[in-house]
Amino acid sequence: MNFDLPERVKSFVEQIREFVDQELIPLEPLLLQAGFRSLLPELETKRQWVKAQGLWAPNHPIEYGGMGLDLMEHALVSEALGRTPLGHYVFGCHAPDAGNVELLHRHGSSEMKSLYLEPLVAGKIRSCFGMTEKNTPGSNPVMLATTATREGDEYVINGEKWFTTSADGAQFCIVMAVTDPEASKHLRASMIIVPTDTPGFRLVRNIPVMGHAGEDHMSHGEIQFENCRVPVSNRLGPEGQGFLLAQERLGPGRIHHCMRWIGICNRAFELLCHRAGHREIAPGTALGTQGVIQAWIADSAAEIQAARLMVLHAAWQIETIGAKAARNEISMIKYFVAKTLQNVVDRSLQAHGALGMTDDTILAFFYREERAARIYDGPDEVHKVSVAKRFLKPQK
């Protein structure tokens, strides 16, 4: 098997990695001390540089101003960008906009494309995706309770959503709502675009996550819909196809997430090695002389390597045999990489002692924000059940 990369790919991945290290990582102290919003003017300047270099929106279609990279190529870019929480935003490929762009590109009407898709890809507006509800299980979304009742040419939406990432400041939300309560369970819901200035749409709060409510793009909103009316033409795809569309987002989105997590692992690993090499625990004796720390380094290196190869293999499977045939691989990387992420960040934080608990390094941010990796995009346990069921099927 040949692991070489084409020169073109090597060159832009290296360029992106250098930019992340030299221009974005130095902004992290400000992010940690003053919050995301305070960085917006600086980030806009960085975005202009990225656009000028032709590196903007690497995963989005060329006709909308993106680089049009394929899944494998973007996986490598996502790894380089994941080294900092600012990477994907500055390069215009951040969640949840990236998934919404894909939905609009595949299923949007021409009006939706000019109203929402074009400014979204250009980074002029932001969006959010509202499926999960506090009182119904996100792990089994066919039970969702938010309704969109048809009245003439309009849907009237009522219900509550939460953990709607980046709702704060978003111009529109793609909402998953029940359009036909009588239909079979996978045909009950549809995806509907709701501009956030529509009467009846209310951002109740940014939900504190381990004590930090965040703001703007870096936040998770609780949203209330009260007799919120939008035209029926705001529906994405045919009525009742909401779950099918959600499923479509899964494969490629998973690769982007997992490679971002690998980027975080790489960064945490470098910090672990630096700390081990430089922290004296006795005169002239570095922390890294201790067997227990060496084992953390060795285990982390092997786990990251294994996780990375699994994700790249899954991306290759999606591109060669399709997402449906690759569903085991797509599920396995979810829980394997999320656990690797947690292991590596935890070891690195531990090696930093009290410093690891502060916001003087990026580790505490990763620890608190990325614990959720085992929960969102389908909790690990749900993926494990699916994988195990497929392996058990022949045993019946």
Ligand X SMILES: Cc1cc2nc3c(=O)[nH]c(=O)nc-3n(C[C@H](O)[C@H](O)[C@H](O)COP(=O)(O)OP(=O)(O)OC[C@H]3O[C@@H](n4cnc5c(N)ncnc54)[C@H](O)[C@@H]3O)c2cc1C
Joined tokens for residue 173 = 């939300």
Q: Three-state SS for 222?
A: strand
Angle of helix 327-351 versus helix 380-392 axis, rounded to 10: 140
How far apart, in Å, do the first and last CA atoms of the chain sit?
Answer: 36
Q: Is 218 in the site for ligand X (CB under 6 A)?
A: no
- The answer to whether 372 contacts ligand X (rule: CB under 6 A) is yes
- Out of 130, 159, 240, 263, the residue judged to bind ligand X by CB under 6 A: 130
Contact residue for ligand X among 74, 188, 217, 220 (CB under 6 A): 220
What pairs with residue 192 in β-bridges?
Answer: 175, 235
| Member of 87, 96, 240, 263 binding ligand X (CB under 6 A) | 96
Q: What does DSSP say about strands 154-165 and 189-195: parallel, antiparallel, or unpaired?
A: unpaired
Q: Does 222 bind ligand X (CB under 6 A)?
A: no
- Candidate residues 58, 92, 108, 138; the one interacting with ligand X per rule CB under 6 A: 138
Instruction: Give the span between the Cα atoms of 32 and 36, in whole angstroms.
Output: 8
- Contact flag: residue 358 with ligand X (CB under 6 A): no
- Cβ-based nearer residue to ligand X, 275 or 334: 334
Q: Is 273 helix (H, G, I), strand (E, B) or coil?
A: helix
Residue 203 near residue 167, CB atoms below 8 Å: yes
| Total binding residues toward ligand X, as defined by CB under 6 A | 19
Q: Smallest gap, in angstroms, from Cβ of residue 131 to ligand X?
A: 3
Among 100, 132, 300, 361, binds ligand X (CB under 6 A): 132
Residue closer to ligand X, measured from CB, 130 or 159: 130
Short-list 201, 204, 202, 188, CA closest to 230 = 201
**Least CB distance to ligand X at residue 139 (A):** 3
Residue nearest to ligand X (CB): 138
Alpha-carbon separation of residue 100 from 205, 266, 276, 383 (angstroms): 22, 28, 42, 23
Regarding 388 and contact with ligand X (CB under 6 A), the answer is no
Q: CB within 8 A of 187, min separation 6: which ones?
A: 180, 240, 241, 243
CB of 213 or CB of 375, closer to ligand X: 375
Q: Per rule CB under 6 A, is residue 381 in the interface with ligand X?
A: yes
Can you give the binding site for ligand X, defined by CB under 6 A?
Answer: 96, 129-132, 137-139, 163-165, 220, 372, 375-376, 379, 381-382, 385
